[in-house]
Amino acid sequence: MNIGVASEKSGLPAKTIRYYEDIGLLHPARTDNGYRDYSTADIHRLRFLQRSRSLGFSVDECRQLLSLYQDRERDSADVKAIAKAKLVEIDRKIAELVGLRGLLHHLVSHCHGDERPECPIIDELAGQGVAQ
Amino acid sequence: MNIGVASEKSGLPAKTIRYYEDIGLLHPARTDNGYRDYSTADIHRLRFLQRSRSLGFSVDECRQLLSLYQDRERDSADVKAIAKAKLVEIDRKIAELVGLRGLLHHLVSHCHGDERPECPIIDELAGQGVAQ
DNA sequence: GTTGACCTTCCATCTACTGGAAGGTCTATT
DNA sequence: AATAGACCTTCCAGTAGATGGAAGGTCAAC
């Protein structure tokens, strides 16, 4: 399978697939003309990467998950540990964004948004604000 | 004021302050020995940058906000527009993370997390899962 | 035989810094 | 006066995770 087909089947751009090969996440065969030749197993790996990346795992975490995926002797505990750590991280990010959202919303709702220069958003950013 | 003092007063690392100068966000004076010399106005700008960055604005948005901050003729509507766009972006990010969190939580809670290889997390990543 | 789609490598670019090397300057102490 | 240590300077490289583009090779169809 050429890279174009692999791209279509995995949902990853060809550029990204080459990049993943560069950083050692897969090693497709080559045909005589030098083109990359993807096996069905390669496609599985690519789809696995696409899914785990879109779930928010870093490329390095994907590397670990991929090796667990390919390890028939794996302990599910190892996978669970990575996923739980990611969950904690996501929770932290959500909390941070919700905090930001609250402050920003407060500022936006107190700004007239007209042609006058007075602006509580600028005041806050300048350290003259009321919020927080 | 030397960069060390500016760093302390603004809450930004010296490295970051030099970087902000590199990308044209401020232009401190220099003393005879070549050291950067920060005025009180520079410190205000740095604090403004520190606050707006920590509120989630990109450096480019900070550049816009900073020029509005320094523009006594500004329309508060311009500031509000930037802040509202950021609010929409933050809402989108939160929604995405909450979705991720739900799926990941579901997977984690269905994984035994023991020494057996069976793992619904891996199954999902491989496209064999039940979730979604 | 030539067009156009596809493939190759390599190099540059993006965001927002951060780390480190090599070297100049300032202040205090001996 | 010498020296130690803290501070400052510039410059270059690296981080994550791709993405864009140039220059050129290959393949299938007409």
Is the pLDDT score of A132 beyond 70? no
Residue ranges per structural domain of chain A: 1-74, 79-132
**pLDDT range class, residue B50, cuts 50, 70, 90:** very high
Residues of A with CB below 8 A from B52's CB?
Answer: 125
Nearest CB neighbour to B113, from listed A47, A77, A101:
A77
Is the pLDDT score of B112 beyond 60? yes
Asked if B121 is an interface residue toward chain A (Cβ–Cβ < 8 A), one would say yes
pLDDT digits (tens, 9 = 90+) for A6-62: 999 999 999 999 999 999 999 999 999 999 999 999 999 999 999 999 988 999 999
**pLDDT range class, residue B132, cuts 50, 70, 90:** very low
Whether the CB-CB separation of B18 and B4 falls below 8 Å is answered with no
Whether the CB-CB separation of B83 and B63 falls below 8 Å is answered with no
Average pLDDT of the residues in B39-46: 96
CATH 1.10.1740.10 for domain B1-57, yes or no, is: no
Strand (E) or helix (H) holding A92: helix A76-109
Residues of A with CB below 8 A from B86's CB?
Answer: 104
CATH architecture for the domain at A1-74: Orthogonal Bundle (1.10)
Is the pLDDT score of B60 beyond 60? yes
List the B112 CA – D4 C1' distance (angstroms). 61
**pLDDT range class, residue B13, cuts 50, 70, 90:** very high
Contact A76 B52 (CB under 8 A): no
List the B16 CA – C18 C1' distance (angstroms). 9
Check whether residue B54 has its CB closer than 7 Å to nucleic acid strand C: no
Is the pLDDT score of A131 beyond 80? no
Check whether residue B16 has its CB closer than 7 Å to nucleic acid strand D: no
Query: Which residues of A, range 1-40, sit inside 8 Å of B by Cβ?
Result: none
**pLDDT range class, residue B65, cuts 50, 70, 90:** very high
CA distance A123 to B86: 17
CA distance A68 to A79: 7
**pLDDT range class, residue A129, cuts 50, 70, 90:** low
